[in-house]
Amino acid sequence: MGLGDVARVVESIVYTPTYTLLGVDYRGRVVYQTMEGGFNSIWAYDPATGERRRLVSATVHWPGEVSLDKRRVPFTRDVGRGREAQVIGFVDLEKDEEVVVENMEPVRVLGFRDTGSEIAFAGASADRISLYVYRRGRVEEVLRLDSYAHVSDFDGRLVVGSGNLRKDPRSSEVFVYDARTGEMRVATPREGSVNESPVITSGGRVLFETNAYTGDAKELAFYDPATGEFQRLGYPGSDYEAYGPVEHLFYREFGGRLFVVGKKNGRSRLFVDGRAVETPPGTVVNAYPHGERVYFTYTSLRRPTGIYAYEEGSVREVLVSKLPPEVEEAFGEVDFVVARSPDGVEVPTFVFKSRRPRREFVVYVHGGPWWETADEWNTRVAPLVALGFNVVAPNFRGSTGYGERFRLMDIGDPGGGDLLDVEAATRWGLEAGLGERAFIWGYSYGGYMTLWAMTRRPELYKCGVAGAPVADWAEMYELSDAVFREFIDILFDKKRELWRERSPSTYAEDLKSPLAIVQPQNDSRTPLQPVLHFVEKLMKAGKTFELHVIPDIGHAITRPDKLAQVLVYAANFLDKCSQL
């Protein structure tokens, strides 16, 4: 297969639009995020007329939920050419006009919520992390924090969020900031537990995820700021209880009803007041009611993300894209299996098979590391399957979705047990006959694991592509802003003596197989400079490699043409390796 054929397949997938629900506005229009039209943007769809309208004039970095009064939708815009130096803005849904707050210091935005008149958000600059409130046309820094924190809700008075507020890398706490009095409270049902993503419900109670009661799976619980009391959410004998989710993708109260998306084993289900809503197998992302109708976002590894409606006991498509027939015909079965590491750890793994398999399979390593490969649309996986590669996607220790004990196993040990898990899934793929040779590819932390695996297990991987990788932890730390310095300290449990030992740059001369690196030029999370130093070592050692630097983009890719560029380089290199 030549470059033109690879590019055609990749572009046919990348340019298939996806649609993610942001809420329903006061007129009943469906507000959503998509890259349809050439850039990440916010649109509105009127079910009554069928009209679709783009609401912004330029690229949106992060879109937010429709505001509490349903008359605005907030967003952030990167003014740093990919460096994630962001300002906030919103679309006035009464006039369908966008407003951008240009008189603020750009920051890396860490969660935000719009009431319709005010926006609360957390932001990181080079030297600090702070809480901010936008009101009456200006942004005010209301509180400086000494640790990572993320805003998840705001009702006009209380700003709520979560973060590593006790400075324990294995715990996170809920915070409640009173924007009127300036009082800041940090709350946890049990010291040392993980508590995340609080939202404000009726009566002022705060609903959040916690592992305080199980030590592992995250349940939902209420916190009452007025009394300081905690209460577990319970639906005895319900569909929700029978399902037994390990974590939650979404939970909101609408009109006195609680909408919850529970998740386990890489798939999720929607519940309303504990009762299951029948949706297709895969991943429900979120849900917003309008009258008797419930709109929700749904996706799977075989289906691009789209918007659906549940009404009168049945599901129908609202905004859904169809894949080209030749792509859909190449997609085979999706299996969920468990590999076993040498130390006995079970590794949950998704296997996406091609109906036209090659002699090689690809191990896809997700980013994060606190993320996962789930049964949801993934443009870094789908093109490979369409091109004839079986894909094995391990959820190594440190991945989300399988309990907090599993996720926290990565703390203080990046590049240790997680490498064992990736290796175990690779050997499982070889033994299962998914291919005669193993290739590896990943982006961000997955890019790090690709470099790491190819230098620490060079005999196992015959080809690899590292996208936006970490090449040197110490150098990355020196180049990072406040939030990513916090990230590295948390990940390593402040064991800075491990930085050199766990950096691919230390072992560049051990590379044995062809390697490609695809790196955004303006990446402020995993910067270019350490990658260039790693490449210098490869050159001195006479290694075989390709380096592709994509100009004028950062870590988060917000344009389909740039995403296609990254993926064409990656897929074409793997295609060439399969011909060796």
What's the pLDDT score for residue 109? 98
CB 48 within 8 A of CB 571: no
Here the tokens at position 434 are: 């998914």
Strand partners, 519: 549
Q: Which residues contact 144 (CB under 8 A, 6 or more apart)?
A: 128, 129, 130
Give the three-class secondary structure for 421: helix
Is residue 444 flagged as an active site residue?
Answer: yes
**Residue whose C-alpha is closest to residue 203's, from 163, 158, 173, 235:** 158
Q: What are phi and psi of 238, to 5 degrees?
A: -90, 170
Active-site entry in 67, 130, 444, 513: 444
Q: What superfamily does domain 18-246 belong to in CATH?
A: Peptidase/esterase 'gauge' domain (2.130.10.150)
Report how far residue 355's alpha carbon sits from residue 353's, in angstroms, rounded to the nearest whole number.
7
| Annotated active-site residue in 248, 399, 555, 575 | 555
Q: Give the Cα separation of 130 and 161 in Å (integer).
A: 12
Q: Which of 153, 155, 128 is nearest to 143 (CA)?
A: 128
pLDDT for 307: 99
* pLDDT value of position 262: 98
Structure tokens at 191: 């010291």
| End-to-end Cα spacing for the chain | 13
Q: What is the rounded CA–CA span in Å between residue 201 and residue 222?
A: 9
Q: What's the confidence (pLDDT) of residue 1? A: 84
Is this model's pTM higher than 0.75 or not?
yes
**523, 524, 575, 578: the active-site residue:** 523
Residues 6 or more apart from 562 whose CB is under 8 A from it? Answer: 550, 553
Q: State the pairing for strand pair 257-264/247-254.
A: antiparallel
| Cβ-count burial 273-296 (b if 16+ within 10 Å, e if not) | ebeebebeebbbbbbbbbeebbbb
Fold of 325-578: Rossmann fold (3.40.50)
Q: What's the maximum distance between 2 C-alpha atoms anywhere in the chain?
A: 68
Cα Rg for the chain, rounded, in angstroms? Answer: 23
Dihedral sign for Cα 535, 538, 542, 547, please.
negative
Low-confidence residues of the chain: pLDDT under 50: none
Phi, psi (5° rounding) for residue 280?
-65, 155
How far is the C-alpha of 7 from the C-alpha of 3, rounded, in Å?
Answer: 6
Q: Please confirm whether the linkage preceding 369 is cis (ω < 30° from 0).
A: yes
Q: Dump the DSSP string for 473-527.
A: HHHHHHH--HHHHHHHHHHTTT-TTHHHHT-GGGGGGG--S-EEEEEETT-SSS-
Element spanning 315, H or E: strand 314-319
Sheet of 247-254, strand order = 247-254, 257-264, 267-272, 275-277
**Burial classification of residue 312, based on how many CB atoms lie within 10 Å of its CB (0-12 exposed, 13-18 middle, 19 or more buried):** exposed
If we measure between CA atoms, which residue out of 108, 91, 88 comes closest to residue 487? Answer: 108
The domain limits of the chain are: 18-246, 247-321, 325-578
Residues facing residue 276 across a β-bridge: 271
**What pLDDT score was predicted for residue 146?**
85
Quick one: DSSP state of residue 580? -
d(CA 158, CA 327): 48
